[in-house]
Structure 1
Amino acid sequence: EAEVDNFRAALAWSLLDPGCLEAGLRLAASLARFWFLDGYVVEGNEWLEKLLAQAPVGRARGEALSASGFLLLRRGEPVTARPLLEEAVALARALGDKGLLTFSLLYLGELHVQFHDLTGAHAALEESLALTREAAAPSYLPPYRVLYNLGELAEVEGDWDTAVSFYEQSLRQARARQDGFCNVVLRRLGQVAMNRDDLVTARTHLYEALVVARDWGNGSWSTAPALAHLACLETAEARPQRALCLAAAAIGLREKYQARPPPTDAARLETVITSARAKLGEAAAANARAHGHALTFAQAVAYALDCASNGTTATRVGSTLSPRETEVAALLSRCATNREIASRLIISQRTAKRHVENILLKLGMRSRAQIADWAREQGLLAAD
């Protein structure tokens, strides 16, 4: 963030000096995730568009095409993204560049899913997955990211069992890498649980997604979709005011980072808003919407997790802990610190802290001491 002006100066210079054009293309492409995560999606696309207008055929052009396609997908503009990603894939094949091909296919597969071209999506994603398992794959595109997209594809096809299988594989691998991408996978698991009317499991996954997003500082880009899913959950549980407030918060945060929701998510939000307005009346609905839209990232997360801190639904949600969380709860019964938990379970202190916070959410509790008392009552005593 502190270097934004320096990046702008470097990119502007590369447009003026032909000898610096390739460096500018590579810089702009490498900044794609920064543009997205920090709310500069429109500006990032504008830089890439200007650079691509002058770019000759080569790897740098391919990287910029793929990066621009990625940002356009995040802006909800798949039609504009399509020719860029198709050119990126073709160029990667012509160059024999497996690294460029790997992530270009991933984005093209995502685009095919949005167009409901399921055959094209399968082909692109399965090839991308195979490439991630080769040595040539870029380090920032591990297999679990493609497994996630294969899960989305299965979900679109209505095959929820296969979707869950892909998501769970992705989540296990992401957890092993301690990657904040876990929050993205947890959101989808929450949605599938809602599809199956398992609202307790849905809330568990969505709460954890918010906690991971908060802890990793992912900000509004990862929080807005989770809030949208929680808004649907509140609708299903007949809480229209909370549903509308969360929906408005999701919309407000998306506006902040200049992105539109995918069509399916947009349709879900519209259903939430329409249902809530019908139940609340225009005045109350307007107030709830205004309140939600004005929430900051931190306020939106706190509001969304309010059910957990008040011990309402979360008390039901948290009655079942994961095997790892059960181990952590048992250690807390002996008043273990995060350092001691990390040492005992061979995990990082940050991971130990996250497990404790997830347990607090699931059990609807406020302190480690409450977890310790609960663990003793359940007979969860750690071995010496």
Structure 2
Amino acid sequence: MNFIRRYSVWLHIIGWIIFIIMPFLTSPNNNFNFFRQPGFSSFLLSQLINDFMLIAVFYFNLSFLTPNLFIKKNTLAFVLYLVAIFVFILLLNKFTFETFRRPNFPRIPPQDLSGFRHRMPPPGPMFMPFPFLFRVTISFLLVILASSLLALIKERSIQKEEKQQMALEKTAAELAVLKLQISPHFLFNTLNNIRWLARQKSDMTEDSVVKLSQLLRYMIYQAKYDKVPLVQEINHLQNYVELQKMRLPENNEVKFTYGGNIEQWSIEPLLFIPFVENAFKYGLHSQKESKIEINLKVDGNTLNLFVRNPVFANNFPVNAEDSGIGIQNVEKRLALHYPDRHELNIVNIGGYFSIDLTLILDDVEPKK
């Protein structure tokens, strides 16, 4: 389709050149003597007049009749236009035939016409031989058929592009909504953590504010892009983990590790934070020991994120809907941004809740 669009002008020119010269190439007298005959110039002039008229009909049907009448189901007006144009084409061909092609019959005195009636050409409204009339009709029908098909293909292509554009806009809107849903939820929990530190009059309150400013800077200035460097996303996770660790009691432990060729890739922003946030929200206990494990690794073009946290009976929601919109939003974003290129396994067994996410980064352009 791109090739046809790029060279459409040349394709039209070549097509019309073939259309114009075809009658000369297929003529039964297509030798050099045919082009030297005295009536060849008249034949050429009449043929060019009719051909250029058909070309005009082609583009008139392509740009007006089919798009504005046939496609819009105004069939009666479309047919009436075609009948009127066909009659005009026949009249034009009659004119060119009688002016340039009609054979010159000998002049006969009026008193002798009765004896020569049988020698005159048969009368007719168009006064054209049947083969010539048949060729004009076929040429007209082919021009109308070709232009109508081209107009239909063009209209279908436009509709397809519009649907694709609408789908892209819908996807972009959905992703924007999902990001807006994640950001306030994340900010709400973080402010609660800082409020807790402030109430404890902790010396870490100032450091937590600095960490929060870094998180907000990332969310405001970086997360607006479709893709961000994976290193920045990891730094964002690390800032969040450090901010959460400021209020952890001694019986809680958080282990965050990452490795691999993380410098080469970009990724959808704020994609991993709901998993980590969920682990802190439901994987910590004020009295019991708990350990949260977060591991991110890139091997070649495959990214794996593993998050594991303990499950406490009074700390984890019974229904998935009660766990917030974070994980559900990530699942939607993965389906939109990484279709058929991700695998997400969520397991709640043996007293531990784990998330194992694998992304294939083939279609993501490496960061140079």
| TM, length-normalised to structure 1 | 0.22
Query: Which has the higher Rg, Structure 1 or Structure 2?
Result: 2
The structure whose residues are more often helix, as a share, is: 1
The structure whose residues are more often strand, as a share, is: 2
